[in-house]
Structure 1
Amino acid sequence: MNLHYKKFYLLLLITALFTACKKQSATPGPKPNDEVVYRGFEKVEHGLPVGEKTQATIGPTGGTLSTPNNTLQLTIPAGAIDDNIAFSVQEVKNTMAAGGIGKSYRLLPEDVQFKKDVEISMNISDTTGLVLATDWMYLAYQDKHGYWHCAKNSVFDPATYTMKAKTRHFSDWSLMQTFKIKNTGKDELDKGESAALQLEVVQPASNPDEPTIDDLLGPSITLDESNIAGWHLLFDGPAARIGTLSASGMKATFKAPTADDRLTQGGVYVDLKNLSIFKDPNRPTRGQSLRVSYNVFVELEQYAKLTLDNTGGITRSVKDISVQVAADGKSKLDFNMNGNLLNIELPNMNMGLKPYGDKQAFVTFLVYWGSYYEKYTSYYAPCGQSGYSHVAGGVELKPDRDGMIKGTFSGYLRHWINGECATVPIPVKATFRVKKP
Structure 2
Amino acid sequence: MLIIAITFTSCKKGKPDKPGETLNKEPLVTDQGIPLPNTLIQKTIGPSGGSIEVPGGILAITIPAGTIKSETSFSIQEVSNTFGMGSLGKVYRLLPENVAFEKDVEISMKYDATMLKGKSEDHLRLTYQDSKGTWHSPKSIILEKANKQIIVKTKHFSDWTIYSELTLESEKKVVSANEISLVRGILLTTATDPENPEDYLLVAGQITDSVVDEWKVVAGPGDIVRREDGTATFVPPAEINSPAVSKIQLVINDYTDPQKTGFYIGFVDIELVPDVFVSWTFGGEKYTVGSDKIVTKYYDQAKSMPQFYVDGGLNLGIVVNRKEIGEFDFGDLNGPDKYSLIYFNMHKPGVPIYYSYRACGGLQIFSAQSMVKVTKFENGYIEGEFNGTLYQWWPNACERIFEDIKGTFRVKFNP
TM-score under structure 2 length normalisation: 0.67
Unaligned segments of structure 1, at least 5 residues? 1-37, 281-286
Alpha carbons of 1:70 and 1:189: their partners in 2 closer, same or farther (altered >3 Å)? farther
1:304 aligns with 2:278: yes
Indicate if the aligned counterparts of 1:246 and 1:252 stay in contact, CA closer than 8 A. Answer: yes
Please give the alpha-carbon distance, in whole angstroms, between the structure 2 residues aligned to 1:324 and 1:182: 32
| Greater share of residues in helix | 1
| Greater share of residues in strand | 2
Aligned residues: 371
Instruction: Indicate the larger mover: 71-80 or 170-179.
Output: 71-80
Partner of 1:231: 215
Please give the alpha-carbon distance, in whole angstroms, between the structure 2 residues aligned to 1:219 and 1:381: 42
Matches within 5 A, 1:25-424: 39-40=13-14, 41-43=25-27, 45=29, 47-52=31-36, 54-60=40-46, 61-66=49-54, 72-88=59-75, 89=77, 91=79, 94-95=82-83, 101-124=88-111, 131-143=118-130, 148-158=135-145, 161-183=148-170, 185-206=171-192, 215-220=200-205, 225=210, 227-235=211-219, 237=221, 242-248=222-228, 250-261=230-241, 264-273=244-253, 277=257, 288-308=262-282, 311=283, 313=284, 315-319=286-290, 321-323=293-295, 333-335=309-311, 341-344=314-317, 356=332, 363-367=343-347, 376-377=353-354, 392=367, 400-406=377-383, 412-415=389-392, 423-424=399-400
Partner of 1:436: 413
Instruction: Indicate the larger mover: 259-268 or 165-174.
Output: 259-268
Indicate if the aligned counterparts of 2:277 and 2:409 stay in contact, CA closer than 8 A. Answer: yes
Instruction: Indicate the larger mover: 294-303 or 211-220.
Output: 211-220
Indicate if the aligned counterparts of 2:124 and 2:164 stay in contact, CA closer than 8 A. Answer: yes
Please tell me the residue identity of whatever aligns with 2:392: H
- The offset of 1:224, in angstroms, is 6.1
- The offset of 1:76, in angstroms, is 3.0
Please give the alpha-carbon distance, in whole angstroms, between the structure 1 residues aligned to 2:323 and 2:285: 26
Higher relative contact order (CA 8 A, sep 6+): 2
Indicate if the aligned counterparts of 1:138 and 1:154 stay in contact, CA closer than 8 A. Answer: yes
Please tell me the residue identity of whatever aligns with 2:289: V
Please give the alpha-carbon distance, in whole angstroms, between the structure 1 residues aligned to 2:207 and 2:131: 28
Indicate if the aligned counterparts of 1:129 and 1:295 stay in contact, CA closer than 8 A. Answer: no
Alpha carbons of 1:400 and 1:163: their partners in 2 closer, same or farther (altered >3 Å)? farther
- The offset of 1:168, in angstroms, is 1.8
Unaligned segments of structure 2, at least 5 residues? 1-11, 15-24, 335-339
Indicate if the aligned counterparts of 2:107 and 2:151 stay in contact, CA closer than 8 A. Answer: yes
Q: Among the aligned pairs, what percent are the same residue? A: 23
Please give the alpha-carbon distance, in whole angstroms, between the structure 1 residues aligned to 2:289 and 2:311: 9
